[in-house]
C-alpha cells in the first residue's frame, strides 16, 4: 500500500461513523483481494500470501465487530459470510486461482456498497435503524454457500 493510500485511509476514517468505518474495512478487504489476484497472475506467491494474510486479519476485525454488536439474523448472516469468505480465500490459494480471489472481491464490494447506501440512508432517515435493513444474502444464505461446509466452531 502506498503512502498516498495510507494518508487517504487515515483521513477517511477520522470522524467516520460506524458505517464509515465498515466501508473503510470493506475497501481494505477488497483491495487486499485485488492485489492478491494480481500477485497470483504475476506468479508472486510471497505477495499473494501477504495480501491474503492481511485480508484474513481484516475479516477477523469484522467478525469481532459483529460479536460485540450482536444483531440477530444480520449477525448470523455476516458470520456465515465471513466464514465462507475465509474458506474460499484459502481454497483460492490452494488452487492458485486469481479468478476465485476476484469473485470474493466482487462479493465484498457488493456488501460494501450496501453499507455505504445504508450510511447515506441513516443520515436522512431516523425511523428504522439502517443496520436492521441490510440483507447480506437476499433469499437466504443457503443460496450462496453450502451450509455443511460452514458448520465448525471455535
Q: Where are the domains of the chain?
A: 15-147
Q: How far apart are CA 153 and CA 20, in angstroms?
A: 30
Are the C-beta atoms of 33 and 104 separated by less than 8 Å? yes
C-beta separation of 80 from 145 below 8 A? yes
Long-range residue pairs from 125-130, CB within 8 A, at least 24 positions apart, any chain: 130/19
User: What pLDDT sits at residue 139?
Assistant: 53
In order along its 154 residues, the chain shows pLDDT tens digits of 555 554 445 545 455 567 788 889 999 999 999 999 999 999 999 999 999 999 999 999 999 888 665 678 888 899 999 999 999 999 999 999 999 999 999 999 999 998 888 888 877 655 555 545 555 655 555 444 443 344 443 3
Q: Which three cell numbers stand for residue 96?
A: 492458485
Q: Give the fold, CATH level 3, of 15-147.
A: 1.20.120
Which grid cell is 24? 473503510
pLDDT for residue 118 = 82
Confidence (pLDDT) at 119: 80
Cell (9 digits) for 36: 492478491
pLDDT given at position 53: 97
What's the pLDDT at 5? 53
The per-residue pLDDT for 76 is: 87
Amino acid at each position: 500500500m502506498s503512502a498516498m493510500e495510507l494518508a487517504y485511509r487515515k483521513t477517511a476514517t477520522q470522524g467516520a461513523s460506524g458505517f464509515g468505518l465498515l466501508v473503510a474495512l470493506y475497501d481494505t478487504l477488497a483491495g487486499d483481494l485485488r492485489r492478491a489476484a494480481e500477485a497470483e497472475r504475476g506468479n508472486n506467491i510471497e505477495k499473494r500470501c501477504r495480501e491474503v494474510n492481511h485480508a484474513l486479519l481484516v475479516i477477523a476485525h469484522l467478525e469481532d465487530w459483529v460479536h460485540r454488536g450482536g444483531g440477530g439474523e444480520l449477525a448470523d448472516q455476516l458470520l456465515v459470510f465471513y466464514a465462507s469468505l475465509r474458506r474460499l480465500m484459502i481454497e483460492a490459494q490452494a488452487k492458485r486461482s486469481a479468478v476465485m480471489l476476484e469473485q470474493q472481491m466482487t462479493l465484498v464490494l457488493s456488501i460494501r456498497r450496501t453499507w455505504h447506501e445504508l450510511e447515506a440512508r441513516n443520515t436522512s432517515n431516523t425511523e428504522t435503524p439502517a443496520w436492521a435493513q441490510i440483507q447480506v444474502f437476499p433469499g437466504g444464505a443457503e443460496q450462496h454457500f453450502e451450509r455443511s461446509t460452514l458448520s465448525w466452531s471455535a
